[in-house]
Structure 1
Amino acid sequence: MRKALLPSLIIIATTLLVIRIFYLQIVDDSFKLKSDNNAIKIKYDYPERGYIYDRNGKLLVANQPSYDIMVIPRDVKNINIQEFCQLLDITKEEFIKKLAKCKVYSPRLPSVFLPQLNKSEFAAFQEKIRKFEGFYFQKRSLRDYQVNYGANVFGFITQVNEKLIAKNPYYNSGDLIGMQGVEQSYEEILRGIKGVKYFQKDKYNREIGSFKEGKYDTIAVQGEDINLTIDSELQKYGEELMINKRGGIVAIEPKTGEILALVTAPSYDPSILVGRQRSKNYTLLYRDSIAKPLYDRGLLAEYPPGSPFKIMTGLVGLQEGVIDEQTTFVCNHGFAYAPGRFQGCHCGGGLRDLHVGIYKSCNAYFSNVFLRTIGKYKAPYAVDVWSDHIRSFGLGQFMGYDLPTGKKGKIPTSKTYKKMYPDWGWGGKTIISNAIGQGEVLMTPIQLANMMSAVANEGYYYTPHIIKKIKGEKIDAKFTTKHVTTIDKQYFKPMIEGLFDVYNLGTAYALRVEGIDICGKTGTAENFAKINGVRTKLEDHSIFVAFAPKDNPKIAIAILVENGGYGATIAGPIASLMIEKYLRGKITRTDLEKRTLERSLQDRYAKLGGLSNVVKMQLRKQDSILKSKKIVPKIEIDSTKEN
């Protein structure tokens, strides 16, 4: 038996190998598609991308026909380069450079020579294409934007690069792919499936028919349509309110986590990244290091949250039992927390409980609450207890939303301070700035909006998301999974009462909207930057967070305006207007609207680095919007004091 085992294994292995070779060479000739590239020409049939609609079914992004001029470099022979260049409006130098680049990719495989021609650009070339051997055209569709806003939400379409081709075999040179926004997040759904046709060529390189009578051909499958959670009218209005300002607005439906508006400013018209000028315009946007129009401040910009963070300080204090609603502290126009250490306050001074502390935004009250919270346990552990409560609101971490970019923000832990103070002890007074949203705490606008959603819901939230419906598919279950905070429901009610009186008695009194019960919190965050190597204090950031109505909230919102000053001056009016726009569909506070649209901060930004060409281009567009509303931009700085 042992003697027969080895010869038997050899015979079996040889037999299997022969069968496999016979199958590949005689039965299955699909590998000929790869091995016989000289005799087979491949043409791709590109499907239309799926359409994009808003939450109410309004069409936002459709498609338009386009034509790519394709080339097989080794087939280019005896053509009139001058005539070719005139037809396509390019120079001879550009022709040589583009052809050389295509040769690098492959001399015998098709490459995109000139992409994204529209009908009129393509018409003249189409009549004479037979004269240019080695060139042919490929029809495809490009995005056709139905609106001139929401560029950061949509993203854009661009050609794949070699690195991506090597990583993903689906793509070939010249293929298009979604970048940024929902175009990137839902690329596989929106792109569809491209069709492939194989053609047999003769020895003269002429097509003589389908390979194997089309046996291996496939048809294109159109991309699926999607509905976003965005309310397009609210998105448009938010972008108008941010004219001549920089910052971000994020609005969320608390009961679902659906993103109602995601505004970054300055932004750009999405249509400028379509067609032959796409590359030139993208380069302008990309190189704009001053205004950063490609930088989504709503998702990426990390700021000290300022006074809105007092909401967290109060809730943690209640949960840990170091205060109750009746606990009071005296504010002496600030708080002396150590010899020579004084934290100022603009609340007016006096005896403060939780309710008054919130609506008057008293620094002294919440600093005392923070010290009691940290003092309840030994220092390292105490910070982690505090941090765990804060993180249960989705702060200090990636939130898991369905957009391709974001930042974690920062909620410090004991490890943070062990690194900062390795040689000496630290305690609550060392890190007291965290009590009022300064110190080491950083948050993005979407995190601030999510925090307010959790407060509005009295202790829970859903992961923010921008997809509402995918035709024929279900959305990810993680967007319908409830996240419960570590704060008991009972402690949210007194906090909400305080936030309600921010509008009735406190720092947002002038921002009330009759008939709408709004709960909100003003904020002003200190802002430092290095200028010529020196740490310099700049104009504070203006912050406002809110939700409405007080009972059964429909919208939670966060606004941050860079260098805007006090929260009630710039960010607060935007919050009131956005809330009324969403809940009523119209504006009654026209005085507030006029003042907000008029207000420009461009003089402040100019001091930080001037105005880029892109911003100037956008200002022309923004000025036309203002003129249509018969409003003239002007600088208007309010000196109202508040925390």
Structure 2
Amino acid sequence: MNKNKPFMLIVMMLAFCFILLSGCSQENKQEEVFRLFSENLSKQDYANLYSILSKESTEYISEEEFVTRYNNIYSGIQANSINIKKNKPANEKDVIPFSIEMETVAGKVDVTDYQLKLVKEKGEWKIQWNDSLIFPNMQRGDKIRVKISQAKRGSILDRNGNPLAKDGEIKTVGINPSIFDKNDREKKIKQLAAILEISEEEITKKLDENTNPDYFVPIVDILPDNEKLKRVEEIREDGIFIYNKPSRIYKNHEGFGRLLGHVGSINAEELEKHKETGYSASSLIGKAGLEQVYEDTLRGSDGAEIFIERDEEKVKTIAKKEPKNGQDIRLTIDSELQAKIYDEMNREKGSAAAVDPKTGEVLALVSSPSYNSNRYTTYVTREEQKLREENDFADEENRFSKLYSPGSVFKLITSAIGLEKGIIDPEKQIQMNGRSWQKDRSWGNYSITRVNHQSSVNLKDAVKYSDNIYFAMSALDMGSEDFIAGAKQFGIGEELKIGYPLTTSQISNDGSLNSEILLADSGYGQGEIMVTSLNMALAYSSLSNNGSIMTPTLVQTNNQNAAVWKEGVISPEHLSTLNNAFTAVIHEEGGTASNSKIFGVLLAGKTGTAEIKVSKDDHAGSENGWFVATDLETSKISLAIVLEDVKEKGGSRAAIPIGKNTLSAYMQR
């Protein structure tokens, strides 16, 4: 018997090891099922997840229903970044407790009390599935609901706090077919179309596309103060209804459209781009202008609540996030000035900019023609559409960001460079003959022309009469290096960081002036120099700000102080010389802008005609006309206007009435 003891001990030890290894093997197989569950759910691969369900579970729910249910719920709550973690071992056998952490429309969700029950079928472990594995406490027939609490989008305000864009309500004009169709359908369609200025076909199509006569059919959205609404009110008892609708509302004036832009429904591409930042398929997003540039500031963050609904009652909240309203932005724009400039431009193609010389605040940024931003939240009448088509959809181009050849208004910069470098002696009379000049025969057939024919010209004369030859000669005397350096002192070729993307001006296409002819042409603002209207408004502001240019700003910020951008571009000893020359343009007889004089207002300024030609011999080329002026006594404003295609409209003289009327109104305020 004693001899059998060692043998029995060995058998018992082997049996214990076998039991231990079987337990470990069983545990490992359960861990593998949990791994597959976690992996498939994290990847939202519901078909593969279904493949590891028990037979009882597959009888409980079909694969199609299973996949659809998970898809609907997880997409509905916008589940992403799903992380599944195993919790401490359960007291219950064959149960693995776990937690799920995920990002959702209601923020981060961390649910800790899941129970994964396992059953063994034909030697394999399977998941005993029920609805509580979607969310604990869920039962069959329960629904997951998402309630969105919309955040208020921030407003865009002008310098005085007046809203230019804000959240509000518009009106929806629509039809109840069951009432509308009872009598005189065609007559009423014709009547409504005439009032709204839309086609009868548009109304008919919307009615015909509707499949339920009791459904309200929206026809147009319209501003509450639109005169057409009063006429619709008179016929609304015939099946025509008017309802309120939350919407973005804009300053009801065309002059603001290109600046403000508009919002619109987010598209698939935008949703994909912003999928990690809380947008949903129903979100609005900035599509253009300031609404787009300041989207992150304005949009806010919608609130959301995810909850379990049973028998049409909320039984448990899974996650809740309060809405966070967007922030307002306050512009430096003077609304009255912006509207006045636009009205004076009368939808002629062009651009205008105005700044406060003492602060650099941008008072106006105008693109003409523009659009009323409300057309993107309401509708476009037939007449409005016709006008757009006749103008070849010119309102779709943002012209205050567009580069233009400055022509003669650039002569201020050439004058300042020449004086600062000691190249120009303002009193020296330069002798000239005729209206055409070239440096020497190496220029071939190329020559520079002028309108005036004075035989003796000094700086003041050259500015007053806009003598191209004088400034071409001066640029050649400076040389390209000094000319380029001087232009850069005025910010030419430098990005204007105003809080709105503008095209950067240029001295030339490649930044150099290696050709004598190109340098000479640049001296009077032709060549390849390209600027925005804001560039020129800033340049002329130096005349009324002791020779310095302030940092331009479009959006006001807390603790914002005016700062110098370009200090002393015109030195004190030359400022009076230039002011004297550029006031002569306006205030002396024979000056190119002498008809822009305003009684009691001392203006310094310049006109300019920029030729847009393929070559010197191109007689079919177009012309752009400029007018730039700043007031020297109060330093309230520096204004630059450029009009396109003025060749048959009097050249630069076409821009003068716009500038004069605008400045006259502004200076009287």
- Shifted more, 192-201 versus 432-441: the winner is 192-201
**Cross-structure match for 1:329:** 430
Rounded to whole Å, the distance in 2 between the matches of 1:144 and 1:372 is 53
Please state whether the residue corresponding to 2:147 is helix, strand or coil.
strand
Assess, with a 3 A threshold, how the Cα gap between structure 1 residues 285 and 198 changes in structure 2: closer, same or farther. farther
* Contact kept in structure 1, 2:98 and 2:113, CA below 8 Å: no
In the TM superposition, residue 25 of structure 1 has moved relative to its aligned partner by: 7.0
In the TM superposition, residue 84 of structure 1 has moved relative to its aligned partner by: 14
In the TM superposition, residue 156 of structure 1 has moved relative to its aligned partner by: 0.9
**Cross-structure match for 2:281:** 173
Assess, with a 3 A threshold, how the Cα gap between structure 1 residues 542 and 495 changes in structure 2: closer, same or farther. same
**Cross-structure match for 1:51:** 155
**Cross-structure match for 1:29:** 111
Rounded to whole Å, the distance in 2 between the matches of 1:93 and 1:490 is 77
**Cross-structure match for 2:166:** 62
Assess, with a 3 A threshold, how the Cα gap between structure 1 residues 138 and 166 changes in structure 2: closer, same or farther. farther
Assess, with a 3 A threshold, how the Cα gap between structure 1 residues 578 and 64 changes in structure 2: closer, same or farther. same
Aligned 1:508-523 pairs, distance under 5 A: 508-523=593-608
Please state whether the residue corresponding to 1:433 is helix, strand or coil.
helix
Q: Which of residues 131, 145, 150 in structure 2 aligns to 1:41?
A: 145
Q: Which of residues 645, 649, 657 in structure 2 aligns to 1:573?
A: 657
* Contact kept in structure 1, 2:475 and 2:523, CA below 8 Å: yes
Please state whether the residue corresponding to 1:544 is helix, strand or coil.
strand
Rounded to whole Å, the distance in 1 between the matches of 2:171 and 2:372 is 22
- Shifted more, 436-445 versus 407-416: the winner is 407-416
**Cross-structure match for 1:454:** 542
In the TM superposition, residue 280 of structure 1 has moved relative to its aligned partner by: 10
- Number of matched residues? 501
Assess, with a 3 A threshold, how the Cα gap between structure 1 residues 145 and 553 changes in structure 2: closer, same or farther. closer
Assess, with a 3 A threshold, how the Cα gap between structure 1 residues 467 and 201 changes in structure 2: closer, same or farther. same
Rounded to whole Å, the distance in 1 between the matches of 2:372 and 2:478 is 48
Rounded to whole Å, the distance in 1 between the matches of 2:551 and 2:532 is 15
Is 1:271 matched with 2:379?
no
Aligned 1:409-488 pairs, distance under 5 A: 409-412=505-508, 416=512, 427-468=515-556, 480=563, 482-484=565-567, 488=571
Assess, with a 3 A threshold, how the Cα gap between structure 1 residues 278 and 570 changes in structure 2: closer, same or farther. closer
Residues 312-345 of structure 1: per-residue CA shift (max 9 Å, x gap):
1111112222223233312323333223443221
Assess, with a 3 A threshold, how the Cα gap between structure 1 residues 285 and 208 changes in structure 2: closer, same or farther. farther
**Cross-structure match for 1:562:** 644
Q: Which of residues 227, 245, 249 in structure 1 aligns to 2:330?
A: 227
Aligned 1:346-365 pairs, distance under 5 A: 346-365=451-470
Residues 205-234 of structure 1: per-residue CA shift (max 9 Å, x gap):
x64316x43x62223233333332222221
Q: Which of residues 282, 292, 296 in structure 1 aligns to 2:398?
A: 296
Assess, with a 3 A threshold, how the Cα gap between structure 1 residues 58 and 414 changes in structure 2: closer, same or farther. closer
Please state whether the residue corresponding to 2:321 is helix, strand or coil.
coil
Rounded to whole Å, the distance in 2 between the matches of 1:292 and 1:35 is 54
Residues 108-149 of structure 1: per-residue CA shift (max 9 Å, x gap):
xxxxx999799999xx9xx9xxxxxxxxx9974332545454
Q: Which of residues 516, 524, 527 in structure 1 aligns to 2:609?
A: 524
Please state whether the residue corresponding to 2:320 is helix, strand or coil.
coil
* Contact kept in structure 2, 1:85 and 1:92, CA below 8 Å: no
Rounded to whole Å, the distance in 2 between the matches of 1:455 and 1:30 is 70
Aligned 1:383-394 pairs, distance under 5 A: 383-394=480-491
Assess, with a 3 A threshold, how the Cα gap between structure 1 residues 372 and 511 changes in structure 2: closer, same or farther. same
Rounded to whole Å, the distance in 1 between the matches of 2:219 and 2:147 is 17
**Cross-structure match for 1:553:** 635
* Contact kept in structure 2, 1:389 and 1:487, CA below 8 Å: no
In the TM superposition, residue 449 of structure 1 has moved relative to its aligned partner by: 1.4
Q: Specify the code of the residue in structure 1 equivalent to 2:644.
A: E
* Contact kept in structure 1, 2:206 and 2:219, CA below 8 Å: no
Is 1:407 matched with 2:503?
yes
Report % sequence identity: 25
Residues 130-179 of structure 1: per-residue CA shift (max 9 Å, x gap):
xxxxxxx9974332545454112221111112222222232111211123
Q: Specify the code of the residue in structure 2 equivalent to 1:388.
A: A
Residues 254-288 of structure 1: per-residue CA shift (max 9 Å, x gap):
1122121222221223322213x379999999988
* Contact kept in structure 2, 1:330 and 1:364, CA below 8 Å: no
Please state whether the residue corresponding to 2:338 is helix, strand or coil.
helix
Please state whether the residue corresponding to 1:28 is helix, strand or coil.
strand
TM-score by length of 1: 0.67
* Contact kept in structure 1, 2:332 and 2:362, CA below 8 Å: yes
* Contact kept in structure 1, 2:475 and 2:483, CA below 8 Å: no
* Contact kept in structure 2, 1:538 and 1:563, CA below 8 Å: no
**Cross-structure match for 1:584:** 668
* Contact kept in structure 2, 1:392 and 1:485, CA below 8 Å: no
Residues 52-97 of structure 1: per-residue CA shift (max 9 Å, x gap):
33223334333323699xxxxxxxxxxxx998999x986499679x
**Cross-structure match for 1:617:** none
Is 1:164 matched with 2:247?
no
Rounded to whole Å, the distance in 2 between the matches of 1:154 and 1:180 is 8
Rounded to whole Å, the distance in 2 between the matches of 1:351 and 1:577 is 35
Rounded to whole Å, the distance in 2 between the matches of 1:258 and 1:42 is 45
Where relative contact order (Cα < 8 A, 6+ residues apart) is larger, the structure is 1
Q: Specify the code of the residue in structure 1 equivalent to 2:653.
A: T
In the TM superposition, residue 400 of structure 1 has moved relative to its aligned partner by: 1.3
In the TM superposition, residue 358 of structure 1 has moved relative to its aligned partner by: 1.3
Rounded to whole Å, the distance in 1 between the matches of 2:296 and 2:399 is 26
Please state whether the residue corresponding to 1:57 is helix, strand or coil.
coil
* Contact kept in structure 1, 2:549 and 2:569, CA below 8 Å: no
**Cross-structure match for 1:367:** 472
Rounded to whole Å, the distance in 1 between the matches of 2:159 and 2:410 is 31
Larger-Rg structure:
2
**Cross-structure match for 2:308:** 200
Alignment gaps of 5+ in structure 1? 1-13, 69-80, 97-112, 128-136, 375-382, 418-425, 586-643
In the TM superposition, residue 445 of structure 1 has moved relative to its aligned partner by: 1.3
Please state whether the residue corresponding to 2:499 is helix, strand or coil.
coil
Q: Specify the code of the residue in structure 2 equivalent to 1:443.
A: V
**Cross-structure match for 2:51:** none
Assess, with a 3 A threshold, how the Cα gap between structure 1 residues 468 and 414 changes in structure 2: closer, same or farther. closer
Aligned 1:97-136 pairs, distance under 5 A: none
Please state whether the residue corresponding to 2:340 is helix, strand or coil.
helix
**Cross-structure match for 2:14:** none
* Contact kept in structure 2, 1:330 and 1:365, CA below 8 Å: no
Is 1:345 matched with 2:428?
no
**Cross-structure match for 1:499:** 582
Q: Specify the code of the residue in structure 2 equivalent to 1:582.
A: Y
Rounded to whole Å, the distance in 1 between the matches of 2:564 and 2:287 is 28
In the TM superposition, residue 504 of structure 1 has moved relative to its aligned partner by: 1.8
* Contact kept in structure 2, 1:201 and 1:209, CA below 8 Å: yes
Rounded to whole Å, the distance in 2 between the matches of 1:116 and 1:40 is 33
**Cross-structure match for 2:259:** 153
Rounded to whole Å, the distance in 1 between the matches of 2:207 and 2:377 is 24
In the TM superposition, residue 437 of structure 1 has moved relative to its aligned partner by: 0.7
Assess, with a 3 A threshold, how the Cα gap between structure 1 residues 281 and 85 changes in structure 2: closer, same or farther. farther
Please state whether the residue corresponding to 1:451 is helix, strand or coil.
helix
Q: Specify the code of the residue in structure 1 equivalent to 2:472.
A: S
* Contact kept in structure 1, 2:158 and 2:330, CA below 8 Å: yes
Please state whether the residue corresponding to 1:502 is helix, strand or coil.
helix
* Contact kept in structure 2, 1:329 and 1:368, CA below 8 Å: no
Rounded to whole Å, the distance in 1 between the matches of 2:476 and 2:405 is 20
